[in-house]
Amino acid sequence: MLKGVFFDLDGTLLPMEEDHFTQVYFQELCKKAALYGYNPQELTQVVWGGVKQMYQNQGTLTNEEVFWTHFKKSYSEEKIKDKKIFDSFYVHEFKNTKSSCEENPLAKEIVQFVRNEHLLSILSTNPIFPYQGTLTRMNFIGLKEEDFDYITAYENSYYCKPNPKYFESLLKQFALKPEEVIVFGNNDVEDYLCAKQCHIKCYLVGKHLILHPEQKLNAPMISMEEIIPTIKNHLKEGLL
């Protein structure tokens, strides 16, 4: 019986071309950080290095702790005081990345349908951003914190997709079995393969798919309009 629905955010509920979003993100981040003496090229390298460390995280520290440990090593222990500057960025300037994203009028309807069916609604976005940064991006498509039972972010996560431990930890946290969950994402490795390794059903959604042909994964693909009918089908199967 279906009990929970996991939604990816970037490229799924929030339509975007990842490269364009990343470009705008770093423009805005470096613009603000330059006011405090940070060299844009150096900062970009440090942030990418921190992201790499989070992707390799094996669960001893939160992704947040992993990132800022890398940041301190790249600059100095004293630079940790600037964390408040970057925290402020995700509340304010980060909103400017909306220009690189598209509208999705169905997002609110889809998530509300899940809530109306009394299913767990979990935003399983790859937790490489702070919680506030995720809330900011959700707001681009009219979604609020209260629309979800849980939102993964770098503060509360110890793994990143495509590490299957990312989904395993969510299953354990909410006492869910793999067959009780559906994942909707846009990346055939980070979403589909990661879920498949945990025996969770996953559908790739929309037009901003990230595919790796060499993997030959043949993930099921649906449109945004097909999400609610897909959930309904799974609910019916659980009643048979």
- Summarize pLDDT for 31-45 with one digit per residue, the tens: 999 999 999 999 999
**Cβ atoms of 142 and 107 closer than 8 Å:** yes
Q: Which CATH superfamily is domain 4-17+101-239 in?
A: HAD superfamily/HAD-like (3.40.50.1000)
Average pLDDT estimate for 52-62: 97
State the chain's maximal CA–CA distance in angstroms: 63
Average pLDDT over residues 215-229: 95
Q: Is the pLDDT of residue 54 over 80?
A: yes
Please state, for a pLDDT cut of 70, what percent of the chain lies above it. Answer: 99
Q: What are the CA-CA distances from residue 45 to residues 51, 101, 159 (Å)?
A: 10, 24, 21
Contacts of 46 (CB under 8 A, 6+ apart): 70, 71, 74, 75
CB 203 within 8 A of CB 184: yes
Q: What is the pLDDT of residue 231?
A: 97
Non-local (6+) Cβ contacts of 81 within 8 A are none
At 1, the amino acid letter reads M
Dist CA 96 CA 113 (whole Å)? 29
Can you tell me the mean pLDDT for 107-130? 98
Give the whole-angstrom CA distance, residue 149 versus residue 223.
24
pTM (two decimals): 0.96
